[in-house]
Amino acid sequence: MAYVATRGGERAMEQSQRLFRAEMGAITPERVAEVRAAMPYLVDRVMGEASLYDQDLAALALAQTGGELYEAILLLRAWRTTQPRLTVADPVTQEGLFTHRRISAAFKDIPGGQVLGPTLDYAHRILATEVLKGETHVPAPVEPASRPSPARQPSVAAWQADNDLLTAPEPDTATGNDIPDVTREPLMFPADRAHTLQSLARAETGGVLALGYAAQRGYGQAHPTVNELRLAEADVVVRHPRGTRFSAGRVKVSQAEVVSKQGEALGLGFSATLGWNEVKVIAAATLDLNSNGAPKGSATEEEFFLYHTEGVESSGFCIHFKLPHYVTFQSSLDAMRDAKAKRAARARHAEPAE
């Protein structure tokens, strides 16, 4: 590829940004607060893809970009680089999650039972058009149970391992800065599993869904069944200077396991992300389940899905095609004209003399 430097567009560029922002008007603290309160699932999706958890910053990024998701995530990833890393928290475990939603499509009687939590899975999809006529749509309130659900739930996979359906994984001794980190190391193939799962955690939802859906429709090697899906809150456990470990707060996380028969045992695919985004983790876990032995260049091959679901890189590459390519395109035109001229010359020589 070749590029050419151009001049003369400064005023146009400045005005184009103003034109983009003029449509949105002033960005106020009230608007940011309203975005945060009214669209928690969009805020969650942005935090997950930005790999940065802070609802206020995510809402601000959405307000500032008018909901242009790729720009919002790029803003957050850029802002992240201005901040020091204070520490690495203790690893979150499935059993330690403060659980809001926990379902299984594989077993109806999982230990701890199933709680649907917040979901629109069973809702009628009816647009509340009365709001556009001036009415207020007030959703029916939850009728709380007399007793609380257990905050922590056992692991379905651990229960399956106890019943010889799965092999219980060995514990990982890597903690803190010893855990591989794609924000500090290049992604190489075959990828370290920690890199794979971290990349999927920060991947672009639509990209993961497209490739995961391809695998689910039959372009993969294994058909997934959701073993356990959780929407939960995880404690961020850090260390006091005197050594005391404590929870410095909770963050929302999603986690999915999908399962498939592999020989005489079950194979398990896993994914998790910051924020509540269950479509993404089910699709990503499907890719994880299918990646072992996937053909080169297929949707379920690790290198293919990790490279093509990184939202900032892929959207950046896509939009770079708008930038001046005058030299390369002119070169293509020259080659076309040259080929045409040569073909015409050959045709003239081939014509029989009269």
Partner 1 sequence: MTPEPQELPERSHEELLGILARAEPERLKAFAEPLIAELPEIEVRENRTGLVMLPMRDTAQGRHFHLGEVLMSEARIAAGGLEGYGMRRGRDLEAAMAMALVDLAVALGVAHDRCAAFVTAEDLAQAEADRETLRRVEATRVDMETF
Within residues 251-280, the interface with partner 1 by CB under 8 A covers 251, 253, 255, 257, 268-270, 272-274
Residue with smaller CB distance to partner 1, 186 or 352: 186
The residues in 62-81 that bind partner 1, with binding defined as CB under 8 A, are 80
The count of other CB atoms within 10 Å of the CB of residue 290 is: 30
Q: Report the distance separating Cα 200 and Cα 273, nearest Å.
A: 8
16 token code pair = 């184009």
The residues in 306-325 that bind partner 1, with binding defined as CB under 8 A, are none
Beta bridge partners of 235: 250
Closest to 290 (Cα-Cα) out of 262, 269, 266: 269
The residues in 26-55 that bind partner 1, with binding defined as CB under 8 A, are 47-48, 50-54
Residue 135 CA from chain centroid, whole number: 36
Determine which residue in the list 2, 14, 16, 56 makes contact with partner 1, applying CB under 8 A.
56
Minimum distance between the CB of residue 157 and partner 1, rounded to whole angstroms? Answer: 5
Q: Give the total of residues touching partner 1 (CB under 8 A).
A: 91
Should residue 293 be labelled a site residue for partner 1 when binding is judged by CB under 8 A? no
327 token code pair = 């030299």
Minimum distance between the CB of residue 47 and partner 1, rounded to whole angstroms? Answer: 8
Determine which residue in the list 244, 264, 293, 297 makes contact with partner 1, applying CB under 8 A.
244
Should residue 145 be labelled a site residue for partner 1 when binding is judged by CB under 8 A? yes
In angstroms, what CA-CA distances link 54 with 41, 80, 84, 218, 334? 13, 11, 15, 38, 52
Should residue 116 be labelled a site residue for partner 1 when binding is judged by CB under 8 A? yes
Contacting range for partner 1; rule: CB under 8 A; set: 128-136, 172-180, 305-313, 336-344: 172-180
Residue with smaller CB distance to partner 1, 267 or 301: 267
3-state secondary structure of 252: strand
**CB contact set of 79 (below 8 Å; sequence gap of 6+):** 52, 57, 61
Binding mask 203-242 for partner 1 (x = CB under 8 A): -------------------------------x-x-x-xxx
Is omega for the bond preceding 190 within 30 degrees of 0, making it cis?
Answer: yes
Determine which residue in the list 8, 139, 144, 186 makes contact with partner 1, applying CB under 8 A.
144
Determine which residue in the list 40, 64, 70, 90 makes contact with partner 1, applying CB under 8 A.
90
Determine which residue in the list 13, 18, 30, 83 makes contact with partner 1, applying CB under 8 A.
83
Q: Report the distance separating Cα 232 and Cα 253, nearest Å.
A: 5
Q: Report the distance separating Cα 244 and Cα 29, nearest Å.
A: 37
Residue with smaller CB distance to partner 1, 65 or 102: 102
267 token code pair = 């194979």
Closest to 230 (Cα-Cα) out of 252, 198, 206: 252
Minimum distance between the CB of residue 316 and partner 1, rounded to whole angstroms? Answer: 19
Q: Report the distance separating Cα 329 and Cα 50, nearest Å.
A: 34
Residue with smaller CB distance to partner 1, 8 or 293: 293
Determine which residue in the list 29, 111, 150, 154 makes contact with partner 1, applying CB under 8 A.
150
CB 323 within 8 A of CB 4: no
